[in-house]
Each structure stands twice: as structure tokens, then as C-alpha cells.
Amino acid sequence: MNVADLFPSSGKVQRIYCDKCSTHLDLSFSDFEDDVSGVHISLSGLPVLVCPSCSSTYLPDRSRFAVIELHRQAVAKKSNLVTVTRNKTARDFGFTKIPFQYDSDDYNYIPGLTREFDEGFLTPVFFNKEVLIKYDVHPSYRATFASRTYGSIRQGNDFDIPFGINRNGRLVMWLGDIARLPENEQFYLRSENIPSDHSIGSEFYDGQIEAKFTDRPPEDQLFEQRSLFLEACFSRFGEKLAHLEKEVLDRAISIRRPVVDTPAERRNVADALNKVYLESLDNKALEQVLSKLGQDAAKLGSLKRLQKLVETVAPMEDIAGAMSPLYVLYDLRVAYSHLGSEEGQEEKLRFVRERLGLAIGADLFAIYDTIVPALRGAFAKLSEVLK
């Protein structure tokens, strides 16, 4: 290798995206060993960027310059051999006295995080995603989502802190944002704090660092609309009508357009959508709100309770029509669950296709591509009515 090869091309800055497949790169630590313009350099523990999709590797700018400097020093000493074992940094950036676990190498070597001011502010801090459950359950907090993996936690006008969920299912926040929280909130976060996995590439990174907002998939748009609907419910009734249980979030993140049309995939798709968008409704909370409005809902299921609740505050609106996709989703799960006779399941599926405006023989792909935007439209309409 020629030392000149280590210098970045003019105007090129190493970014977090793989040059070959555009996947977000992860930070890793590996051994570098090569002959660099007549100097054999062996360096253990060098920070590198690795593509989890195609295994391509890249040197962060700071690693490039470290190797260049080792070469310069060797030439100055007229040495043709350099052997170095790099010690990982363990810097405390001093933002908070709460002893959060984080890796200062993330800040120094992951592209886009270093700044000339507020050094260390954009250090990623990682948590179990169960940390969201407290904020979802407690009535004074909100966990809202712009997509399935990017959202914010807020408490009234006191704080509003963004978070992301990385490819490994870990929740990520910035150290500087965490330090702005009240101390009791920081202690709670610390209880779910885990070591860095050095994987920051996500919609959170794209939005926060790159100001990059690409067209989001239908699944993200649907989950965002669900979040907006629940916000509208809380604003109107002062109650949270659904909870973000761990299984709900896991299912939401995993929902993807099916790739095969098999009985097992049909059940998986219908069950996942049903779990996130129907079963997550809090039946007890719906009954309590209806009771406050003078309505009896003792014998009603959650969908009927929701319908009655919205009809109570908007009697002139066609709420049954607006909620039709939610009922269709329920019927789809029944049709695909193998509960009941084969004839009954086929009749239920025929009814699902009919209400979605699909042909008699429409397959799972057509049903999925129709019901996801239909559900989004249902939540949007209900949100509009409640406002």
C-alpha cells in the first residue's frame, strides 16, 4: 500500500453509508497489518467501519490519519517496522454525574458525530427498548413515533427527547440530550442502560445527523398514524387508549410486506397486524372513558367500544364506515387462523376481499398492499374527527 492511498480523495469525507450497497456501517475494532510505502505497520484494535450487508470495510478519517502519522514517525526515525496495540478510549465527556455506560470511540469514529462545540454531545447511549414501557404507561409521559424505529419521549413542556431503535433492537439516545433531563429521569434511564453495540445507523441517525428524510415504507406511515391517533385520543379524553407493550413494539418493527403466499405467512401477517393495531387497544380504558360519558359498554368488545366512543363525541360522522378497515383486519385474522370450518374461513375471506374492493381470487400480496394504507386512512379519519 502506498501512504498516499490513505489520504481521502479531495473533498471526500467518510460517511456512514456503504459505497457498494448504501447500508449503514457499524463501528468495529480490528487489526491492521500492511506494508505502507516501505514501512510494515501492525496496529491492533484499530477502529474500522464494517458493512453488515456486504462485509465491506472502511477506515474512519481519524483511523486513516492515525496510520499516516505512524508512517510519518517511522520515516522520521528511519525505521521500517511499527507495532502498536491501541488502547480503547474511556473518556467521560462530563455532561452528567450519572455514570452512564457509553463508548467515547463511538463519538470519535462514527461519521457525523464530532463537533467543534459541545464535544461529546452526540455520543450515542444505548438502552434496552423496554425503557419505553414506563414512558408509555405513566399518564404524564408520551412516547410518540414518526416511524416504527424513530420517535420521541416527552413530558408536558418539561422535556422532549428523540430516540431511535437500531437494527439490533436497542434504543439509542444522545448523551447531551440525556444530560438535560431531570436527575430522577436520568437515574431511571441508567437502570436500562447497556453497553454500546456500535450500531447507530438508523432512521434516527438519518434524521438527526444527515437531515435525510426518504420516502418511508407504508408500514412506517401506518405506525406513525396510529401514534397520531392515540395522541388525538389522549388530547380529547385524557386517557391512553392503547399501551406500547414490548410484544407490540417487537411485532410492529418486524412487520414487512410478505415475500411468499403460504398458510403460515398468512397467519403471521394477520396476527402481527392484529396484535399491533387491534389487540393493543386498552379495553378497560375504553370502558372507563365511555362510563365517564354516560355510556354503557359492558358487553362490547374493544372495537365496538372504540366505535361507540367516537360516535358519542361525533354523532354526525360515519364512524362505522371510517372504522371498516379495522373490522376487516379482524376478519382477516379469523379467516387465516384456521379457527372454524374451511367453508366458513373461505366465506370470511371472500367478505374481506369484497370490502377491500379486491377481486375474488386476490392473493395475500394484494390484500396486504390494500389493507395497510386502508388502516392508515382509518386512523387518519378518526384522528381528524377527534380533533
91 within some domain: no
Residues 236 and 379 in one domain: yes
Q: What is the mean pLDDT of residues 27-55?
A: 94
Q: What is the mean pLDDT of residues 220-249?
A: 90
Cell of 376: 392508515
Q: What percent of the chain has pLDDT over 70?
A: 97
DSSP string, 217-277: PHHHHHHHHHHHHHHHHHHHHSS--B---HHHHHHHHH----SS--HHHHHHHHHHHHIII
Structural domain of 156:
104-208
Residue 249 confidence (pLDDT) above 70: yes
pTM of the predicted model, to two decimals? 0.82
Residues 262 and 371 in one domain: yes
At 32, which amino acid appears? F
For residue 171, the model assigns a pLDDT of: 95
For residue 119, the model assigns a pLDDT of: 94
Q: What is the CATH number of the domain that holds 7?
A: 3.10.20.860
Q: What is the mean pLDDT of residues 246-264?
A: 90
Mean pLDDT of the chain: 91
Residues 159 and 263 in one domain: no
The DSSP secondary-structure symbol of 6 reads G
Long-range CB contacts for residues 300-308, cutoff 8 Å, separation at least 24: 302/278, 303/278, 303/327, 303/330, 306/241, 306/281
Residues 176 and 56 in one domain: no
Residue 320 CA to residue 233 CA, distance in Å, equals: 17
For residue 19, the model assigns a pLDDT of: 92
Residue 213 confidence (pLDDT) above 80: no
Q: Domain total for the chain?
A: 3
Residues 239 and 122 in one domain: no
Residues 258 and 381 in one domain: yes
For residue 306, the model assigns a pLDDT of: 96
pLDDT digits (tens, 9 = 90+) for 270-325: 999 999 999 999 999 999 999 999 999 888 999 999 999 999 999 999 999 999 99
Residue with cell 473518556: 91
pLDDT digits (tens, 9 = 90+) for 330-383: 999 998 886 556 676 788 899 999 999 999 989 999 999 999 999 999 999 999
Region of residue 211 (left: phi > 0; alpha: psi -120 to 50; beta: else):
left
For residue 116, the model assigns a pLDDT of: 87
Residues 244 and 188 in one domain: no
- Read off the pLDDT band of 88 (50, 70, 90): confident
- Read off the pLDDT band of 225 (50, 70, 90): very high
**Final residue of a domain: which of 21, 52, 85?**
85
Residue 12 confidence (pLDDT) above 80: no
pLDDT digits (tens, 9 = 90+) for 44-66: 999 999 999 999 999 999 999 99
Residues 16 and 59 in one domain: yes
Residues 241 and 338 in one domain: yes
Residues 187 and 230 in one domain: no
Residues 134 and 69 in one domain: no
At 122, which amino acid appears? L
Residues 113 and 202 in one domain: yes
**Final residue of a domain: which of 179, 208, 237?**
208
